[in-house]
Chains A and B, each alone.
Chain A
């Protein structure tokens, strides 16, 4: 899903490097130049890129967990095929991103173990519950829609292996998004019961979707390493506005209402009121909207969300249950070269 959004790391900016090399590197990337693994790069660029790819990879495989749980409960064969393909794609995105991160210097095994022991994080939006099929529809439409916006800008970043991976991933995200749109339209042109299911799920996912792009920009955002070194090419607030401009009018056109919601500790909505700030500014072309609940965002990111424990537990369960498979492969291994 999103790599850059809400990675909470202490970012270093390359001080300590040879100033001449650093200046040449920065001039190169700022002019649109690309970096390949064997090129010189500041150590801080390498480690930030590694953490970005690792966080992104973690998010792909954790994001597939709530969806994977719905495969057996898909409403019909067509949806089941598509959801199975989506889950396969997401895990595949994880596999490609772990390769990118691994080549930057951390073993895949260490990454998988750090994820299940809570040493590293994944995208915050997967800590929310997915109680109905309509949640699957909203994830594919809103969260994959947000991911395309974000990854579309990441594909213009500076690190060759990462941008090649983004291009391949985005092609598949386009399917996830279109399939999501198809499912949302199906519900919204269905019975009153279907429409209510869709509205309830939309209420649960609108907040996490606009929080998806991460915290507010800092005043010095453009000077910070991720932007300065062109790992990111758009800021969190820019992307959030772009997302609202695209999805708010589309949601309303289907008949969905954009609400500001209060939630209980299970992530279920207890109170929903129409967003009072939602209106189009004719001059700028931007839609106004109520910001996500940032206190909730930080509470969830620190591990106290409705599903944090459950997601990590399922990932850990899979890792532990898969041990015999890895052993069988390794012990029955023939030589790796011919």
Chain B
């Protein structure tokens, strides 16, 4: 049975005349998988504003696994060196290759101050690779209790483990029926 797709767009090779899109700002997304976990860097995304970034983050970084809370911050806000008196959220990347993990908060007068406090209060003598800090007020939070992140319907169809049992059963059935076929070959030849 061969069927055709519904859309067959024309094959065009002339110049593109759609407008270029100006680069959207980049946002960093942190997810918390369960209550006892710390917020951990999940990845980044490009979006024009905080609201679009939040929608995108929920759909993209909240759907791969159970997720109870998300934080989203503009990448530029992690870099700005403007003095800003605030409570800073502190993230440490312990080794190159690791994800940044939230270690705690510190009241600080600037980013530099915040990162110094992060070292004294949360890092100590341990080795680390990089620190990220963000003024609390610049962080957008999505609480999974109030604003759904992980859907409450059964989503096992989109997880590998949702298939392990049925796949096993099907293999068993195929193998068993092969054995029966082999066994019955002799039957078919003569008497039956």
Q: Which A residues are within 8 Å of any B CB, using their own CB?
A: 33-36, 38-39, 69-70, 72-73, 78, 81-82, 85-86, 88-89, 92, 95-96, 99, 102-103, 107-109, 113, 116-117, 131-133, 160, 163-165, 168, 171-172, 174-175, 177-179, 181-182, 185-186, 188-189, 197, 253-255, 309-310, 313-314, 316-317, 319-320, 323, 326-327, 329-330, 333-338
Contacts and interface: CB of A to CB of B under 8 A. Distances in A.
Interface in B79-96: 93, 95-96
Which of B21, B51, B138 is most buried by chain A, counting CB atoms within 10 A of its CB? B21
B44 interface: yes
A144 B66 CA distance: 23
| Nearest 10 CB-CB pairings of A with B | A317-B9, A69-B5, A85-B158, A174-B160, A185-B170, A34-B97, A34-B96, A178-B163, A175-B160, A131-B2
Interface of B: 1-3, 5-12, 16, 18-26, 42-46, 48-52, 60, 63-65, 74, 76-77, 93, 95-97, 99, 129-130, 137-138, 140, 157-160, 162-164, 166-167, 170-171, 173-175, 177-178
A109 B163 CA distance: 38
A177 B164 CA distance: 11
B21 A109 contact: yes
A323 B43 contact: no
Contact of B130 (A36, A89, A181, A323): A36
A338 B44 contact: no
Given A36-B96, A99-B46, A329-B52, 15 more contacts: A36-B129, A78-B157, A85-B158, A95-B60, A103-B26, A108-B23, A108-B24, A109-B22, A113-B16, A178-B160, A313-B12, A323-B18, A326-B21, A337-B74, A338-B50
B174 A185 contact: yes
A69 B3 CA distance: 11
B170 A108 contact: no
Nearest to A309: B11
Contacts, number: 159
B19 to A, nearest CB: 6
A168 B160 contact: no
Contact of B49 (A86, A172, A174, A333): A333
A139 to B, nearest CB: 15
A254 B174 contact: yes
